[in-house]
């Protein structure tokens, strides 16, 4: 530290700060966070740094660089990745840590590559690559001989990952689709078809000093083995490090979801010197099961464990759930099913693919995690797939999924590429798998580990072997490397560390161009979008589990305003192009819009129409998948969210603003839906229900014609069973006079006066609709329960978008259809006051009237 004033100031701050970090008495392991007093040394300056953090966010904070997401800044900021920054911190060790038998320095995540020095001693010298070479690993060093009772200096020297990739690639026996393969670093940092290139570096997770003696708890797991009648057979696993052979006492306490202690257990356990894994069987009477969203409550138990040796102790507390979960892949008439069975009940999966919420993941706040997971829950989802090109998520993500009943399909971080198979790389992957499995395995939400994203598909279908000029021997060797990672190392680590879930080597199981993909395994159906096939193909191409399919749309206008200047706001402008990463993105949006919608001239209208188009196409897919629930196990659309403001497949943009699709998904993921179709002059209405029990209901169907006259099509009582049922067939001849392109059908399913499901349906494609110029009436209600917007429309409306100028209007529903005379009350979620004169609207009616 060069500045003496700063130095004495820090000394004054550090000691009381340390005392507040150390909550346990001295006989317990002591943890001292090294989260303050960090500086980042650039070639000629020293700036304050944040840990956890990264070089980009530190430079933003120091006002050295502008917002990397603004306009075309991405291009001009590529130099940041080549900075080779040095992070430094000086600290004093709490005296009690210095008294412990064991003293270690633990890095929960360093992004990558970096050499670490403590008081000038190189910690990383003997590692493979002589550095920290995997951002997904936890690194721990014995520092007992290195800590100083006075001031200590820790410095982390980062170096350019891309340069290292090129060096490794140059001497490799084959070329890979992308040389990022050589670095164990979040693949999407190197750019994606929805993401910019920011190959960042930094200390992205906490750093701590740990001092302990005799014993330390280093891992935990909780597994439900069986649920029978009124009890659950479970097993608690405690992993303990011991400095010697010794006896220990373990005390367990289990607290049920209503906060009552239901079980206490004390056992004596002989410990070996080193690592111990202790399995403790626990029978829990009248278990309150963990259910996913829509199937029941996500009940959580609290487990407290304490361990005492001769003169030292350790303890932990965590929340978990009682549930069994199985991925069935049972041979059947057409191939094999792909179905998740939770607590013995087959559950139709409804959800989306999740990507990191930011390019600089350290700046995603707790509130952002909470908001996003709640948005997923409120959209009636029961699963998120943590996609393999991002990161293994932070604890908060899995905790929130546990609490909100969202199952997690967890990919290992390998995507759309080939990877090396030398022993050093395999060992690196093995440790990465071990660290992450052990970190998250106890979460009841964890449903499946999956080896990779689209590598098997790429190998067989994307022509890599030819385009990269592989010989037969090359191909054999590359494929053996693939087998080693995805069929050996990863499944071995899963069974070794008791992940408690199934393992699926690659998603999808088979490429979408192959017939088998429809009959077994999971499917990424990209014939729509990549293959430019019409949306109707979704109806034919429903596989056994739809783990990806999607279509792009522009983000909210407010988001576009946030990253651009007025002169950027036209299609294909340089500013907009930076925020469209798919090479054919604009062309495909236009092709599909031409097929099904009219193409507006105005940029604002185009943004609106792109969102309506996305909601229309993906809505068609979801209905098709749900109608096929007897053979299809679930549907996860691509993609829930964005990592920056961009034109992409997401339903929520970077700021969490909802596209039309997100509202559509919420309607279509309800437990019961009533899809309709108009084929061969016949209206067919289905009831698709995920509800565990059958129920009685009343269905009413009305058609409103071009003159807003209504024709009652059905009004009958029925029993709705779990599954997909055709409930009405109404031929055109029974309806009377109406114009197909100017009518709307409205169906409502009720149970004892309560609305269960409703649906608005148009008989023609949006582009053919000839609807009146709408004149909806709006009203604002502010009362103690909140602020509300009322809407009433005298005319039929397709896709009413209600918005404000220069402000995102956050409504409980939007981009919806209305039949003539319909009234709706929407909740306004904005904090700002919204008044009637601020309300603007758009609709397909208006787009179609433009000429
Ligand atoms: C899927 C994903 C991503 C990609 C998306 C859209 O294949 O796995 O790799 O961003 O398609 O192209």
Task: Give, for ligand 1, the residue of 190, 192, 193 to mutate: max count of ligand atoms closer than 8 Å to Cβ.
Answer: 193
194 Cβ closer than 6 Å to some ligand 1 atom: yes
Residue closest via CA to ligand 1's atom 10 equals 193
CA distance 841 to 227: 53
Confidence at residue 2, expressed as pLDDT on a 0 to 100 scale: 41
* pLDDT tens-digit readout, 669-722: 999 999 999 999 999 999 999 998 999 999 999 999 999 999 999 999 999 999
The dihedral over CA atoms of 625, 630, 632, 633, expressed in degrees to the nearest 10, equals 110
Confidence at residue 5, expressed as pLDDT on a 0 to 100 scale: 41
* Percent of the chain clearing pLDDT 90 (strictly above): 95
Interval 301-323 mean pLDDT: 97
Give the DSSP letter of residue 486: I
**Cβ(799)–Cβ(612) under 8 Å?**
yes
How many angstroms separate the alpha carbon of residue 640 from the centre of ligand 1? 12
Residue 319 is encoded by which pair of tokens?
């929340």
Interval 252-264 mean pLDDT: 97
How many angstroms separate the alpha carbon of residue 420 from the centre of ligand 1? 22
How many angstroms separate the alpha carbon of residue 634 from the centre of ligand 1? 18
* pLDDT tens-digit readout, 521-576: 999 999 999 999 999 999 999 999 999 999 999 999 999 999 999 999 999 999 99
State the pLDDT confidence band at 208, using cuts at 50, 70 and 90: very high
pLDDT score of 257 more than 50: yes
The atom number, within ligand 1, closest to the CA of 416 reads 9
How many angstroms separate the alpha carbon of residue 510 from the centre of ligand 1? 15
Three-state secondary-structure class, residue 523: strand
* pLDDT tens-digit readout, 83-108: 999 999 999 999 999 999 999 999 99
pLDDT score of 315 more than 70: yes
192 Cβ closer than 6 Å to some ligand 1 atom: yes
Residue 43 is encoded by which pair of tokens?
């070639």
Task: Give, for ligand 1, the residue of 548, 636, 642 to mutate: max count of ligand atoms closer than 8 Å to Cβ.
Answer: 548
How many angstroms separate the alpha carbon of residue 399 from the centre of ligand 1? 26
How many angstroms separate the alpha carbon of residue 415 from the centre of ligand 1? 9
Closest to 455 (Cα-Cα) out of 178, 164, 136, 186:
178
Convert 523-553 into a string of H (helix), E (strand) and C (coil): EECCCCCCCCCCCCHHHHCCCCCEEECCCCE
Catalytic center residues: 454
The atom number, within ligand 1, closest to the CA of 192 reads 10
454 Cβ closer than 6 Å to some ligand 1 atom: yes
524 Cβ closer than 6 Å to some ligand 1 atom: yes
Convert 664-712 into a string of H (helix), E (strand) and C (coil): HHHHHCCCEECCEEEECCEEEEEEEECCCCCEEEEEEEEEECCCCCEEE
* pLDDT tens-digit readout, 50-61: 999 999 999 999
Residue closest via CA to ligand 1's atom 9 equals 416
Residue closest via CA to ligand 1's atom 8 equals 453
Token pair 């929960």 in the structure block, residue: 108
Spell out the residues 6+ positions from residue 541 whose beta carbon is closer than 8 angstroms to its own: 512, 518, 523, 525, 527
Q: Cα separations (Å) of 102 from 96, 108, 141, 146, 210?
A: 11, 18, 11, 12, 8
* pLDDT tens-digit readout, 586-629: 999 999 999 999 999 999 999 999 999 999 999 999 999 999 99
Closest to 417 (Cα-Cα) out of 387, 457, 449:
457
28 Cβ closer than 6 Å to some ligand 1 atom: no
How many angstroms separate the alpha carbon of residue 580 from the centre of ligand 1? 14
The atom number, within ligand 1, closest to the CA of 529 reads 12
Task: Give, for ligand 1, the residue of 387, 454, 532, 640 to mutate: max count of ligand atoms closer than 8 Å to Cβ.
Answer: 454
Interval 444-472 mean pLDDT: 98
Mean pLDDT (the chain) is: 95
506 Cβ closer than 6 Å to some ligand 1 atom: no
637 Cβ closer than 6 Å to some ligand 1 atom: no
Interval 305-330 mean pLDDT: 97
pLDDT score of 251 more than 60: yes
208 Cβ closer than 6 Å to some ligand 1 atom: no
Give the DSSP letter of residue 541: -
Residue 753 is encoded by which pair of tokens?
């006066």
How many angstroms separate the alpha carbon of residue 641 from the centre of ligand 1? 13
* pLDDT tens-digit readout, 1-46: 444 444 443 334 444 444 444 444 449 999 999 999 999 998 788 9
Confidence at residue 498, expressed as pLDDT on a 0 to 100 scale: 84
Interval 296-308 mean pLDDT: 98
Residue closest via CA to ligand 1's atom 6 equals 193
Residue 801 is encoded by which pair of tokens?
């978008």
Confidence at residue 42, expressed as pLDDT on a 0 to 100 scale: 86
pLDDT score of 489 more than 50: yes
178 Cβ closer than 6 Å to some ligand 1 atom: no
CA distance 291 to 404: 9
The atom number, within ligand 1, closest to the CA of 524 reads 7
Residue closest via CA to ligand 1's atom 12 equals 193
Spell out the residues 6+ positions from residue 9 whose beta carbon is closer than 8 angstroms to its own: none
Q: Cα separations (Å) of 811 from 786, 790, 843?
A: 12, 11, 16
How many angstroms separate the alpha carbon of residue 327 from the centre of ligand 1? 24
Token pair 């660089």 in the structure block, residue: 65
* pLDDT tens-digit readout, 154-185: 999 999 999 999 999 999 999 999 999 999 99
Interval 473-491 mean pLDDT: 98
Three-state secondary-structure class, residue 493: helix
pLDDT score of 116 more than 70: yes
Question: Which residues are registered as beta bridge partners of 383?
Answer: 351, 407
Confidence at residue 4, expressed as pLDDT on a 0 to 100 scale: 41
* pLDDT tens-digit readout, 120-156: 999 999 999 999 999 999 999 999 999 999 999 999 9
* pLDDT tens-digit readout, 269-290: 999 999 999 999 999 999 999 9
pLDDT score of 404 more than 60: yes
pLDDT score of 496 more than 50: yes
CB atoms within 10 A of CB 622: 24
pLDDT score of 752 more than 50: yes
pLDDT score of 455 more than 90: yes
The atom number, within ligand 1, closest to the CA of 453 reads 8
Confidence at residue 499, expressed as pLDDT on a 0 to 100 scale: 75
Helices (H), 554-584: 557-563, 574-578
CA distance 151 to 128: 30
Confidence at residue 365, expressed as pLDDT on a 0 to 100 scale: 98
Task: Give, for ligand 1, the residue of 415, 417, 638 to mutate: max count of ligand atoms closer than 8 Å to Cβ.
Answer: 638
453 Cβ closer than 6 Å to some ligand 1 atom: yes
From edge to edge, which strands make up the β-sheet containing 797-803? Answer: 816-818, 797-803, 840-842
Q: CA end-to-end span of the chain, whole Å? A: 69
pLDDT score of 516 more than 70: yes
638 Cβ closer than 6 Å to some ligand 1 atom: yes
Closest to 209 (Cα-Cα) out of 18, 462, 437:
18
How many angstroms separate the alpha carbon of residue 583 from the centre of ligand 1? 13
pLDDT score of 501 more than 90: no
Closest to 35 (Cα-Cα) out of 19, 53, 20:
53
Cα atoms in the 13 Å half-sphere on the side-chain side of 684 = 10
**Cβ(516)–Cβ(543) under 8 Å?**
no
pLDDT score of 248 more than 90: yes
581 Cβ closer than 6 Å to some ligand 1 atom: no
* Full-model pTM: 0.96
């Amino acid at each position: 530290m060069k500045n003496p004033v700063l130095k004495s100031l820090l000394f004054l701050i550090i000691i009381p700060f340390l005392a507040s970090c150390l909550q346990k008495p001295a006989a317990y392991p002591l943890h001292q966070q090294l989260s303050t007093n960090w500086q980042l040394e650039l070639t000629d300056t020293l700036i304050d740094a944040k840990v956890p953090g990264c070089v980009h966010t530190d430079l933003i904070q120091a006002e050295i660089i502008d917002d990397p997401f603004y306009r075309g800044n991405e291009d001009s900021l590529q130099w940041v990745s080549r900075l080779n920054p040095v992070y430094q911190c000086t600290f004093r060790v709490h005296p009690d840590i210095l008294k412990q038998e064991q003293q270690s320095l633990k890095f929960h995540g360093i992004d990558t590559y970096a050499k670490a020095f403590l008081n000038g001693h190189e910690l990383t010298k003997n590692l493979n690559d002589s550095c920290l070479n995997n951002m997904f690993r936890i690194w721990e060093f014995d520092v007992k001989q290195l800590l100083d009772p006075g001031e200590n200096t820790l410095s982390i020297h980062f170096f350019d990952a891309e340069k290292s990739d090129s060096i490794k690639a140059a001497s490799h026996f084959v070329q890979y689709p992308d040389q990022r393969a050589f670095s164990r670093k979040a693949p999407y940092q190197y750019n994606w078809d929805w993401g910019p290139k920011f190959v960042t570096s930094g200390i992205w997770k906490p750093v701590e000093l740990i001092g302990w003696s005799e014993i330390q708890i280093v891992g935990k797991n909780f597994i439900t083995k069986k649920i029978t009648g009124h009890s659950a057979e479970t097993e608690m696993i405690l992993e303990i490090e011991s400095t010697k052979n010794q006896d220990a006492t373990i005390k367990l306490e289990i607290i049920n979801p209503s906060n009552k202690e239901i079980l206490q257990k004390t056992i004596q356990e002989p410990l070996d010197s080193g690592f111990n894994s202790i399995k403790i069987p626990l029978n829990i009477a009248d278990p309150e099961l963990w259910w996913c969203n829509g199937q029941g409550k996500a009940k959580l138990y609290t487990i407290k464990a304490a361990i005492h040796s001769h003169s030292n102790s350790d303890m932990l507390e965590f929340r978990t759930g009682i549930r069994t979960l199985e991925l069935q892949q049972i041979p059947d008439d057409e191939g094999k099913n792909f179905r998740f069975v939770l607590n013995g009940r087959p559950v139709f999966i409804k959800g989306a693919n999740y990507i990191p919420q930011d390019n600089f993941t350290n700046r995603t706040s707790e509130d952002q995690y909470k908001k996003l997971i709640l948005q997923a829950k409120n959209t009636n989802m029961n699963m998120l797939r943590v996609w393999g090109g991002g990161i293994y998520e932070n604890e908060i993500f899995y905790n929130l999924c546990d609490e909100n009943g969202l199952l997690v399909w967890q990919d290992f971080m390998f995507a759309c590429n080939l990877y090396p198979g030398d022993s050093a790389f395999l060992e690196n992957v093995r440790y990465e798998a071990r660290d992450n499995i052990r970190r998250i395995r106890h979460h009841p939400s964890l449903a499946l580990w999956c080896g990779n994203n689209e590598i098997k598909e790429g190998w067989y279908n994307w022509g890599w072997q030819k385009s990269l000029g592989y010989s037969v021997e090359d191909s054999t060797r590359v494929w053996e490397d693939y087998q080693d990672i995805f069929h050996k190392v990863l499944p071995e680590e899963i069974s070794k560390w008791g992940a408690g879930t199934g393992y699926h080597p690659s998603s999808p199981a088979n490429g979408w161009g192959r017939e088998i993909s429809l009959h077994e395994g999971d499917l990424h159906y990209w014939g729509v979008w990549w293959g430019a096939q019409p949306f109707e193909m979704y109806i034919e191409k429903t596989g056994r589990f739809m783990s990806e399919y999607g279509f792009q749309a522009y983000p909210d206008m407010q988001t576009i305003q946030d990253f651009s200047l007025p002169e950027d706001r036209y299609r294909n402008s340089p500013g907009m192009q930076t925020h469209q990463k798919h090479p054919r993105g604009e062309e495909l949006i236009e092709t599909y819009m031409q097929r099904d919608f009219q193409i507006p001239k105005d940029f604002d209208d185009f943004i609106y129409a792109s969102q309506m188009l996305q909601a229309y196409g993906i809505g068609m897919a979801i209905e098709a998948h749900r109608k096929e629930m007897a053979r299809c196990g679930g549907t996860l659309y691509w993609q829930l969210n964005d990592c920056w403001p961009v034109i992409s497949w997401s339903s929520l943009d970077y700021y969490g603003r909802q596209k039309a699709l997100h509202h559509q998904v919420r309607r279509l993921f309800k437990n019961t839906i009533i899809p309709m179709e108009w084929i061969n002059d016949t209206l067919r209405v289905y009831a698709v229900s995920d509800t565990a029990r059958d129920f009685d209901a009343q269905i009413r169907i009305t058609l409103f014609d071009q003159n807003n006259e209504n024709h009652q099509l059905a009004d009958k009582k029925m029993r709705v069973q779990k599954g997909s049922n055709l409930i009405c067939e109404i031929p055109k001849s029974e309806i009377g006079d109406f114009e197909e392109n100017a009518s709307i059908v409205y169906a409502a399913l009720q149970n004892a006066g309560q609305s269960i499901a409703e649906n608005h349906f148009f008989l023609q494609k949006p582009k053919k609709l000839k609807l009146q110029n709408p004149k909806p009436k709006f009203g604002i209600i502010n009362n103690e329960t909140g602020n509300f917007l009322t809407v009433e429309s005298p005319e039929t409306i397709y896709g009413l978008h209600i918005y404000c100028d220069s402000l995102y209007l956050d409504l409980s529903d939007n981009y919806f259809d209305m039949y003539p005379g319909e009234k709706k009350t929407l909740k306004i979620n904005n904090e700002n006051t919204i008044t009637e004169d601020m309300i603007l609207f758009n609709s397909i009616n208006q787009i179609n009237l433009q000429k």
